[in-house]
């Protein structure tokens, strides 16, 4: 699993912390700072945090909401659900 984000991004930090807190999460997590790669910055800048599982994008900032409902949906997204 990969989280694309950048240093100082509170949304990125929130998603990373939520993934790490999930009891069923047992795989490896790689956090990639998009500011260190111009191509990644161009691709993801307006969408971070972006989460990829098995090479497939399953989550991005547009799926977040101010009420925090995204936290309840995240486990299913990480497993490849809706």
Residue 81 has pLDDT above 80, yes or no: no
CA atoms within 13 A on the CB side of 6: 16
Is-above-0.85 flag for pTM? yes
For residue 47, what pLDDT is reported?
96
Q: How high is the mean pLDDT of the chain? A: 90
Q: Is the pLDDT at 1 greater than 60, yes or no?
A: yes
Distance CA 69, CA 47 (A): 18
Residue 26 pLDDT exceeds 70: no
Average pLDDT over residues 69-80: 86
Per-residue pLDDT, averaged over 60-66, amounts to 91
Domains detected in the chain: 2-78 (3.40.30.10)
């Amino acid at each position: 699993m990969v989280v694309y984000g950048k240093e100082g991004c509170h949304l990125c930090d929130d998603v990373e912390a939520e993934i790490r807190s999930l009891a069923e999460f047992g795989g490896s997590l790689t956090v990639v700072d998009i500011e260190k790669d111009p191509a990644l910055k161009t691709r993801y800048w307006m969408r971070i945090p972006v989460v990829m599982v098995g090479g497939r994008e399953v989550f991005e900032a547009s799926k977040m909401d101010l009420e925090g409902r995204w936290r309840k949906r995240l486990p299913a997204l990480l497993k490849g659900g809706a």
